[in-house]
Amino acid sequence: MEPVFTGGDIARQMPLQAKQFSGIDKNWMRIMEKAVETKKVIQCCQNDMLKDFLPELEKKLEEC
């Protein structure tokens, strides 16, 4: 979905959704950066940030 909302006609026609997607993408990148730092799958999956953000990000992504 990144190519759809980061440029082009769709992003210009749907600026609110493009802005919302940008926030979702930034949070996703933070989660992935934390996963890279952790380097252990079980520890990463037990991360509170992951548990708190993923359901919310999914909901917002579906709204986009």
**Which among 62, 64, 18 has a CA at the least distance from the CA of 54?**
62
Distance CA 56, CA 51 (A): 9
Instruction: Tell me what the pLDDT averaged over the chain comes to.
Output: 86
* Residue 1 included in any domain: no
Q: How many domains does the chain have?
A: 1
38 vs 5, more confident: 38
* Residue 57 included in any domain: yes
Q: Average of pLDDT values for 1-19? A: 82
Q: 62 lies in which domain range?
A: 25-64
* Residue 14 included in any domain: no
* Residue 6 included in any domain: no
Distance CA 29, CA 33 (A): 6
* Residue 53 included in any domain: yes
Confidence at residue 8, expressed as pLDDT on a 0 to 100 scale: 78
